[in-house]
Structure 1
């Protein structure tokens, strides 16, 4: 039976390198159907308790949560904004957490990050892993791709052999966890 995942680059930039990496990783999975989500399709007002009390939880938050519930796994490539999540991702996460505190529904996760620099988004990746593994009984796999423009091309994918091997190992473990 084909497994289903949702995949997203946790950025609202139309040229996001994390969207590119999320799509690349999803496309490499075998016997897995994926839905590549665009955070721009889930743009909501900035979360606040006052706004929630006045207007309730936006329908887009419910739609996002339904996509999670209808999946077998989650693949996210995080954009790092000042060492943390992008505001667009954090806002969606905040709204969805008001529906259910277990946002990801205890599903296996493959968390990644990339950046133009040599650190590869490791700060936001560490933050996400620490946060989500406390709430999950399922495997959380991870991968960081440093220096995106040097280590990735649309024609080849991940160019560095050592990084490619690490990516393939983590991706295979994610696939097995589904």
Structure 2
């Protein structure tokens, strides 16, 4: 089973990258690739750029990674209630690939975390509404509020037992979906 773990942030110290990496580690016997948004830096989407130069290779490469995966784990950082600019730009460019649904109907666990009480709930709600319009097969969602209180950075895992159990249940659910699809 191949897992593509996407942290929707270009921060070098992304808490969403820590969360998605931990989530990916919970799937047994899987090949995991963790995507760094910095690998897909490209000009901000503009229609004239697309007309003049086409879709950048980085967007095509991102789409190829999605296509090669069996399961997508996507953890989005929240900037002013929605996606980070780095993620949104990759999403926008990938959506411009001809005859392409961005997420290609791959089973997805959609996640977010933040230092505050809502745990990235704004971006999670925005993505849960938008992604299905772009081929997002969202199997479940997960949010981790108060990241600094609920995640042990030295152990690289969720320290809140209730939230850890919740994530493990959702990982089991998405793993089961992939097993069913393989049959």
- TM-score, normalization by structure 2: 0.91
Q: What does residue 116 of structure 2 align with?
A: 117
Q: What does residue 167 of structure 2 align with?
A: 167
**What value does the CA root-mean-square deviation take over the aligned residues?**
1.4
Matches within 5 A, 1:128-143: 128-136=127-135, 138-143=137-142
Mapped pair 1:61 → 2:23: no
Structure 2 unmatched runs, 5+? 179-183
**Residues matched between the structures, number:** 176
Shift of 1:129: 1.1
Task: State whether residues 106 and 137 of structure 1, in contact with CA within 8 Å, keep that contact through their aligned partners in structure 2.
Answer: yes
Q: What does residue 181 of structure 2 align with?
A: none
Q: What does residue 148 of structure 2 align with?
A: 149
After TM superposition, the structure 1 stretch with the greater mean CA deviation from structure 2, 141-150 or 97-106, is 97-106
Structure 1 unmatched runs, 5+? none
Instruction: Provide closer, same or farther for how the CA distance between residues 128 and 19 of structure 1 changes in structure 2, counting only shifts above 3 A.
Output: same
Task: State whether residues 6 and 68 of structure 1, in contact with CA within 8 Å, keep that contact through their aligned partners in structure 2.
Answer: yes
Q: What does residue 76 of structure 2 align with?
A: 78
Instruction: Provide closer, same or farther for how the CA distance between residues 134 and 60 of structure 1 changes in structure 2, counting only shifts above 3 A.
Output: closer
After TM superposition, the structure 1 stretch with the greater mean CA deviation from structure 2, 99-108 or 73-82, is 99-108
Matched residue SS, 1:116? coil
Matched residue SS, 1:12? coil
- TM-score, normalization by structure 1: 0.94
Q: What does residue 89 of structure 1 align with?
A: 87
Mapped pair 1:127 → 2:129: no
Matched residue SS, 2:11? coil
Deviation per CA, 1:95-122: give whole Å up to 9, x if none. Answer: 0001144101101001100001111000
After TM superposition, the structure 1 stretch with the greater mean CA deviation from structure 2, 148-157 or 129-138, is 129-138
Shift of 1:137: 7.7
After TM superposition, the structure 1 stretch with the greater mean CA deviation from structure 2, 92-101 or 104-113, is 92-101
Shift of 1:133: 3.1
Matched residue SS, 1:140? strand
